[in-house]
Each structure stands twice: as structure tokens, then as C-alpha cells.
Structure 1
């Protein structure tokens, strides 16, 4: 049961919380724990801080990639930077100069199938740019060969990594019986 002094404390706590719709009167029956939590200064601070966090502007949504893809400096196929190679005058970096190159890459993406993660990534980049020639897109010659032949896909794009060649480390190929001369 709440006394007059208790009503004053509850009303003060309600004003601090910004709750003006609660009415308290002497003789009202309240749960002891609820009344203590409602008037506790530390609980009030905690509740007010969580209320501010709920109404604070939300953070900008992050996209899947943290950095923006730069068609003029990143390989369309592997996504790695070509800046260092282009500065050195390396001939293994080429620009997409025709629309037929883009068409061929799109066809290769379809041929590689929907289960190919690398093809999905390349197709997404092509669809985003819409016109690789206008975007001044570049690619590594080795990546182009790898993508066209379906071999030597970079590890980042492989669906599963094979265990490699199984070799035996020690011993013979066949099992030798423990008895030297079987009967």
C-alpha cells in the first residue's frame, strides 16, 4: 500500500522518466519490486539511455562490400587492383575496348552455370556497370584465360578446394602379411 510520501516519490520518478500518464494515489496497492525499480535512480538512468538509443537515427546500412569497386583500376574478373601493374607498363592488363568483349563475358557466365560463384560475381559486376567499355573496365590477361577455360580459378572463387594429389609418405603400396611363408 502506498502512502502520501510514496505517491510523491512515484510522481517525481514519473516526471523524470517523462511519463505523465501514470496516476498514483494514497492507499493504492503496487508490487514492491515494481515500485522500487520505478523509483530507483540507476534504473531510471538506464531506461532513459536505452530510450534515447531506440530513437537515435539508425546507422547507414552497409553493403556487402566495404569498398567501392573501381572498374578503371580493378580487374573485372578477379577484383584485384591493377594499379601497380599498369604503372610498370605491364602488358598483362587490358582495357575492355569493345561491346563484344562484354557480350562474350556474359555468355561465359551463362555457360559456367548458376552454381559457379565466380561467374555470379563477374555477372554482377557487368550488370552493375551496364557498359564495361564506357566504364573503362580493365582485366588481367591471366584472369581472362582462367575464366574462359574454366581452369585455375582463383582460390577466393572456388566452390571447394580439392585435397590435392594423394601421395603416400612411407611404406609399400601393398600390405605384407606377418608370416613370411603362408601355408
Structure 2
């Protein structure tokens, strides 16, 4: 998994999250997608929780900021949804702690990994103010491990990721973000 272990995780999760962007474009364990293709929030699903009543947390992080060789902002939080109810992942039913923000790797920084992590929650996570997709503050130097430890999530039960590098959409996206 492209050094995701140990950069972000301690072990490879057993399950795979299905992540689909518009026009049926699927995330497939490291395939390359463009910032233009992933600008809108994807559909996310995972089978394996049927018959189980519980809550889930979904995180999306980029551990390669500003570059994979110099990840001083590791990790950038692109999306966080907690308290997702039920046996299937539908982030719209949960509480978005951090609104979805598509990929925006700076020009000349090469491929960045964008990792989706799914955790089973034992308890409801108290809702915190949502970071909108127009705000950078609160997204840099996020640590999935620390978030999981703080909320007693344990290791993720499923994951998936794609890679992206700069395209012209990044310039457009960055004009909408402050902080």
C-alpha cells in the first residue's frame, strides 16, 4: 500500500472501502486520478457490517504535503465524518466534522496519496464545529492515529486510496480557500 504503513497506519486494514466519483470513476488501491476528477464529494460504501448496529467514522488524508519527500504538513485532512449510522457507509447520515475538499497538490510536487480510512466507533463522538471546504485552518498536521486514539476508534477496519498530482483545477480550487 505505497508505504501507507508506516506513514499513516500501523497495519493494513482487512477491508476495502468502495469510493466512486462522478461518471463511475472508482478509487482502486493507488490508481492515479486527477484533481479535476475528484473535485466533488464521492459516494462511499463498504459491505461487511450487515446486521451490525453501530456508528462509523470516515477520514480522508493526504500524508504527502508539501511533498512525499518532505511531508512537514503530514497529514492534511481532506474529509472527516463521524457518527455515521448503520451497516453501510453513507457519509450523508453522519456529522461532517471537516467538509470534503478535493485534491490540490501544488505544481511540481509529484504524486500525493489520498487515503480513505473507515473506523468502527464504540461511542458517539461529540460533534465539533465543522470546518467548511473554504477553510484551510485545522486541516494541516492532522494525524489519523491521534484522532483515532482520542476517540477510542482503534485501527481502521477498511481503507482505500488513490494518487493525484497537480492539474489546472488546483489553481481554481485554491482561489476558494482561505486561512
Same fold (TM over 0.5): no
Kindly name which structure, 1 or 2, has the bigger radius of gyration based on alpha carbons: 1
TM-score (norm 1): 0.20
Greater RCO between the two (CA within 8 Å, min separation 6)? 2
Higher helix share: 1
Higher strand share: 2
TM-score (norm 2): 0.20
